[in-house]
Amino acid sequence: MKKTMTVKELADKLNLKILTEGDLSREATGCYSGDLLSWVMSRAGEGDVWLTVMGNVNAVAVAVLSDCACIVLTENAPLDDTAKEKALQQGVTFLSCDRNAYELSVEISELI
């Protein structure tokens, strides 16, 4: 059976740092990893946790339009100031961690 948990629960369980707080009560239902925005745009689905190193304003737009549950910046990839401001405005949650996309995917697959 497919399990889900909220973004907040996921962040707590996996020790992810909250960089911008959107709706933390959203259900995270899946996961997608990628940095090329046109791929993410058409492949990531509603409720996905999106793993990427793209901490820029374009990532915010893609997250909004594809309805991702949150963005996780892997390997401590930086979030730039414009993106941070935009994310707060649009209610997009950015999390971050030191693990790479593979390591984090493995951890996520054990939870959802």
Partner 1 sequence: MEESIKLHYIVPGDDFTRAGAASGDVKRTLKELGVSPAVIRNVSIAMYEGEINMVIHANGGEIDVEITGEDIIMTLRDEGPGIENVELAMKEGYSTAPDNIRTLGFGAGMGLPNIKKYTDEFSIDTELGVGTTLNLRVHIQ
* Residues near ligand ATP (CB under 6 A): 37-38
The one among 90, 98, 100, 102 contacting partner 1 by CB under 8 A = 90
How deeply is 82 buried, as exposed, middle or buried, from its count of CB atoms within 10 A (0-12, 13-18, 19+)?
exposed
Tokens 């990839």 sit on residue:
77
Q: Report the partner that residue 15 touches, choosing among ligand ATP, partner 1, none (CB closer than 5 to 8 A by kind).
A: none
Q: Report the partner that residue 27 touches, choosing among partner 1, ligand ATP, none (CB closer than 5 to 8 A by kind).
A: none
C-beta separation of 87 from 62 below 8 A = no
- DSSP, collapsed to helix, strand or coil, labels residue 95 as strand
Q: Report the partner that residue 103 touches, choosing among partner 1, ligand ATP, none (CB closer than 5 to 8 A by kind).
A: none
Q: Is 37 in the site for partner 1 (CB under 8 A)?
A: yes
Tokens 């790479």 sit on residue:
100
Quote the CA–CA distance of 69 and 82 in Å, as a whole number: 20
Minimum distance of partner 1 from residue 81's CB (angstroms):
11
H or E stretch at 71: strand 70-73
The one among 86, 87, 92, 108 contacting partner 1 by CB under 8 A = 86
Site residues (CB under 8 A) for partner 1? 35-39, 41-42, 46, 54, 56-62, 64-67, 82, 86, 90
